[in-house]
């Protein structure tokens, strides 16, 4: 239990750390990877290179520190991060390393302003915050369908739209695939052809069919010197019969609505993937589903045949494609026709898409807390904690 004094110091210094957040994060990663190059086998180097997402960890520590009096307030967000950590195989013994280098970075950036009293308070606070993550992740490790990463053989690859591919894989060893929950993802580990480290990525599952296989989709990320290390490798260098490593399915994005509710499954780009699982599962149960997918052009739409096959056998499924080249941006004017008092909204896509939709929904007096969502990126950066 932290003392009153420690909590006061932490809360008072959060704004200063926020002000220097980017610098602290940069120094933190640089120093940590110098001392522990083995961690480059866990962290996403493309994100580091593109300046994306590195701030998520430090930002979350700061967001948690604001709630240091009642850390239970951050539990729903920790749950989502803990799923990712478990899938990446982040372990209890990694926490002191991150703590050490985060504190060293704070000291290096703030210099004399970071007094011993302040540093001691932050050390204690980090320990308290880390223990919330460790406890939650421990439970997830116990429940995981298998330990560590296991080898899977690729049995099918298919183009989806112009920049996605779907992969079907089966375990090489005798392991049992658990009953999948629509909305979950798998974490893939490969050794990219032009890099010395292992690389890990999360990919959403597009079907919860129970036949001992896993099915996920990969969007080709970025181009030229900003091209995604893993997605391009999977697209260009992997074929049927090749093996990749996968950890047990993870994620807390799932359908939680009462049976009588209509689901509005709203996605953009690769965000369509978890929605495919939800569409498959919920239409099979006979639920009213309105599947709306936003994309640039008709040619870019992934899973078009699969969506048609599902809607062809269900009168309760309605499909709308909103194409930017024809229909412009999706606005509250569009949304208001699709939502009534009996609709539950499920949303998935990139961070910009999510932000825009939340803004448009707010014009209809629909708050973020009324929406079930999964951004492709750190959730805590767009949630109001």
Q: Give the binding site for ligand HEM (CB under 6 A).
A: 39, 42-44, 47, 53, 56-57, 60-61, 81, 84-85, 88, 90, 94-95, 98, 129-130, 133, 378-380
Rounded to the nearest 5 degrees, what angle is found at the Cα of 186, between the Cα atoms of 180 and 192? 155
Please tell me which residue in 95, 126, 203, 206 is annotated as part of the active site. 95
Please tell me which residue in 29, 126, 137, 221 is annotated as part of the active site. 137
Rounded to the nearest 5 degrees, what angle is found at the Cα of 373, between the Cα atoms of 289 and 314? 15
Q: Which is nearer to ligand HEM, 128 or 296 (CB)?
A: 128
8 Å CB contact between 339 and 313? no
Compute the least distance from the CB of residue 232 to ligand HEM, in Å. 17
Q: Which is nearer to ligand HEM, 34 or 174 (CB)?
A: 34
Compute the least distance from the CB of residue 32 to ligand HEM, in Å. 8
What gap in Å lies between CA 199 and CA 52, rounded to an integer? 16
Compute the least distance from the CB of residue 380 to ligand HEM, in Å. 5
8 Å CB contact between 384 and 76? no
CA distances for 326 relative to 152, 293, 308, angstroms: 41, 14, 21
Active site includes 108? Answer: no
Compute the least distance from the CB of residue 81 to ligand HEM, in Å. 5
Compute the least distance from the CB of residue 163 to ligand HEM, in Å. 21
Q: Which is nearer to ligand HEM, 51 or 212 (CB)?
A: 51
Q: Which is nearer to ligand HEM, 37 or 212 (CB)?
A: 37
8 Å CB contact between 288 and 260? no
Tell me the residue number closest to ligand HEM, measured at CB: 44
Compute the least distance from the CB of residue 82 to ligand HEM, in Å. 9
Active site includes 196? Answer: no
Q: Which is nearer to ligand HEM, 129 or 317 (CB)?
A: 129
Q: Which is nearer to ligand HEM, 221 or 281 (CB)?
A: 221
Annotated catalytic residues are 95, 137
């Amino acid at each position: 239990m932290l003392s009153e004094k420690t909590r006061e110091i932490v809360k008072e210094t959060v704004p200063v750390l926020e002000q220097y957040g980017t610098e602290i994060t940069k120094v933190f990663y640089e120093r940590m990877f110098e001392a522990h190059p083995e961690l480059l086998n866990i962290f996403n180097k493309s994100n580091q290179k593109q300046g994306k997402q590195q701030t998520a960890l430090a930002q979350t520590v700061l967001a948690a520190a604001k709630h240091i009096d009642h850390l239970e307030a951050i539990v729903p967000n920790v749950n989502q991060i803990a799923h990712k950590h478990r899938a990446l195989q982040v372990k209890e013994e990694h926490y002191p390393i991150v703590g050490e280098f985060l504190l060293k970075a704070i000291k290096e950036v703030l210099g004399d302003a970071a007094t011993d009293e302040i540093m001691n308070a932050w050390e204690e606070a980090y320990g308290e915050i880390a223990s919330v993550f460790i406890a939650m992740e421990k439970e997830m490790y116990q429940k995981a369908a298998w330990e560590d990463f296991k080898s899977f053989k690729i049995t099918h690859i298919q183009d989806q739209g112009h920049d996605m591919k779907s992969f079907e894989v089966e375990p090489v060893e005798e392991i049992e695939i658990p009953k999948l929950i629509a909305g979950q993802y798998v974490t893939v580990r490969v050794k990219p052809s032009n890099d010395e480290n292992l690389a890990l990525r999360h990919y959403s599952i597009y079907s919860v069919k129970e036949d001992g296989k896993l099915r996920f989709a990969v969007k080709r990320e970025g181009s030229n010197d900003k091209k995604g290390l893993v997605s391009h490798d999977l697209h260009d260098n992997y074929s049927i019969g090749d093996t990749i490593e996968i950890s047990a399915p993870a994620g807390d994005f799932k359908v939680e609505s009462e049976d009588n509710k209509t689901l509005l499954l709203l996605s953009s780009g690769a965000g369509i993937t978890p929605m495919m699982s939800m569409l498959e599962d919920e239409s099979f149960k006979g639920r009213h589903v309105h599947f709306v997918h936003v994309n640039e052009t008709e040619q870019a739409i992934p899973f078009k045949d699969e969506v048609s096959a599902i809607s062809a056998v269900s009168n309760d499924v309605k499909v709308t494609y909103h194409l930017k080249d024809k229909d412009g941006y999706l606005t509250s004017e569009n949304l208001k026709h699709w939502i009534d008092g009996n609709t539950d909204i499920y949303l998935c896509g990139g961070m910009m898409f999510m932000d825009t939709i939340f803004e448009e929904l707010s014009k209809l007096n629909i708050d973020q807390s009324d929406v079930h969502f999964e951004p492709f990126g750190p959730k805590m950066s767009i949630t109001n904690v």
